[in-house]
């Protein structure tokens, strides 16, 4: 895919199902699930529940799945499975009794959980598709990405702000109002803005509730909705410590830097605090994509002490500590968190990911890594 010089190449997501094996494919809206299905699963039966006639047919008679496909020998894809949770009972029966393979895609786990849907009890793999990574694109411009984000249609768009506006409106209309996930749509819409402003910060339900005009209990539920619809995720604090008192509050990030900045009504420029927050979120997006496609068991935490020392990302049980600085020149003050972390026990590798042009290593062993150098090494498997 390409547009106006921007190109999407070499998507890292891959799924090869052995005969008789099934999988759930999860991910937010417009991340590219349907595009991938159409271009990689030639010959598969595709049941698209976004089509109203197909939805109506199977919603009224889920048993049609069994009657039509029990003799089928290939793969059956059900797109947006959360729209008819009852189909999962039929899927279960066809897997158990006929050995049929299914690929079940979805942009929300909320409805499946609320309806106590059959999640196939370990009979299906779990896979996640994420927004784009640097290694999946050409003509990548970091400053532009902070505005467009990395959902494929937004990254390629000649007017990403307009597309982002439509994305948020469709999310509120279809996912939130359409599925009746909340009663008060205006309060949830305001919550989205506050969640974006506080993205990457320590979660404080009381403060967000005050800004949103609802109770902390309701706000906690709103954050759960964002996680269930893949619009955001929590990052846990590192808790294994010997000598320091640590912060144990989790952080929450929205899934895409473009969505975050659109909701915050900002277009961050290099040298501003807003660009620094966006740069940190972008690096986390690369880590989350790598985790989804290459290393699903990778732990991603942050480290912060009660006295204020902090390291942005602590990975794989201290195999790699990453501090992110949107600075073209790293100085000694940027190393304080990494040095404090090292005092609490050995860290295999410590790095500052930044905007410098060339990699270097400080006398204390901390590596200074230009961001593109870091991303290339990450995807090459150098760190884990």
Listed in sequence order, the residues at least 6 apart from 352 whose beta carbon sits closer than 8 Å to its beta carbon are: 322, 323, 324, 325, 330, 334, 335, 338, 366, 367, 368, 369
CATH code linked to domain 2-128? 3.40.50.300
> For residues 310 and 3, what is the distance between their CA atoms, to the nearest angstrom?
40
Mind listing the pLDDT tens digit for each residue in 248-261?
Answer: 899 999 999 999 99
pLDDT at 34 exceeding the cut of 70: yes
Instruction: Spell out the domain ranges in the chain.
Output: 2-128, 134-379
Mind listing the pLDDT tens digit for each residue in 64-99?
Answer: 999 999 999 889 999 999 889 899 999 999 999 999
> For residues 116 and 375, what is the distance between their CA atoms, to the nearest angstrom?
40
Report the percent of the chain where pLDDT is more than 90. Answer: 75
Average pLDDT over residues 370-382: 97
Q: Are 188 and 194 in contact (CB under 8 A)?
A: no
Mind listing the pLDDT tens digit for each residue in 136-188?
Answer: 999 899 999 999 999 999 999 999 999 999 999 999 888 888 776 788 899 99
- The predicted structure's pLDDT at residue 119: 65
Please give the structure tokens belonging to residue 216. 């902390």
- The predicted structure's pLDDT at residue 123: 75
pLDDT confidence tier of residue 6, bands split at 50, 70 and 90: confident
Whether this model's pTM surpasses 0.75 = yes
């Amino acid at each position: 895919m390409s547009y106006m010089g921007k190109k999407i190449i070499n998507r890292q997501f891959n799924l090869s199902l052995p005969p008789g094996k099934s999988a759930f494919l999860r991910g937010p809206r417009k991340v590219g699930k349907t595009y991938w299905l159409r271009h990689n699963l030639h010959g598969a039966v595709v049941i698209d529940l976004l089509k109203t006639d197909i939805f109506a047919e199977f919603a009224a008679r889920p048993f049609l799945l069994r009657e039509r496909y029990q003799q089928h020998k290939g793969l059956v894809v059900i797109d947006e499975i959360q729209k008819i949770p009852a189909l999962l009972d039929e899927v279960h029966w066809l897997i158990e009794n006929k050995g049929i393979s299914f690929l079940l895609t979805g942009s929300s786990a909320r409805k499946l959980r609320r309806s106590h849907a059959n999640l196939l009890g370990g009979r299906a793999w779990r896979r996640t598709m994420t927004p784009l990574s640097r290694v999946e694109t050409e003509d990548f411009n970091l400053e532009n990405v902070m505005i467009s984000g990395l959902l494929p249609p937004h990254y390629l768009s000649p007017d990403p702000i307009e597309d982002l506006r439509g994305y948020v409106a469709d999310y509120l209309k279809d996912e939130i109002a359409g599925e009746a996930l909340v009663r008060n749509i205006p309060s949830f819409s305001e919550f989205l803005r506050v969640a974006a402003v506080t993205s990457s910060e320590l979660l404080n339900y009381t403060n967000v509730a005050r800004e949103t005009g609802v109770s902390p209990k309701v706000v906690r539920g709103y954050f759960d909705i964002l996680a269930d619809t893949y619009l955001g995720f929590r990052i846990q604090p590192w808790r294994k410590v010997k000598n320091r008192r640590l912060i144990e509050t989790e952080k929450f990030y929205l899934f895409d830097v473009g969505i975050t900045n659109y909701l915050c009504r900002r277009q961050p420029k290099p040298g501003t605090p807003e660009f620094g927050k966006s740069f940190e979120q972008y690096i986390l997006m690369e880590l989350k994509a790598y985790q989804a496609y290459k290393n699903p068991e990778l732990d991603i935490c942050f480290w912060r002490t009660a006295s204020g020392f902090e390291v942005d990302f602590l990975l794989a049980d201290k195999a790699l500590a990453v501090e992110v600085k949107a600075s073209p020149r790293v100085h000694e003050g940027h190393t304080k968190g990494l040095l404090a972390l090292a005092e609490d026990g050995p860290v295999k590798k410590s790095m500052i990911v930044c905007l410098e042009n060339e990699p270097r290593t400080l006398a204390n062993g901390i590596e200074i890594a230009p961001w593109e150098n870091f991303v290339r090494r990450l995807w090459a498997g150098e760190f884990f």
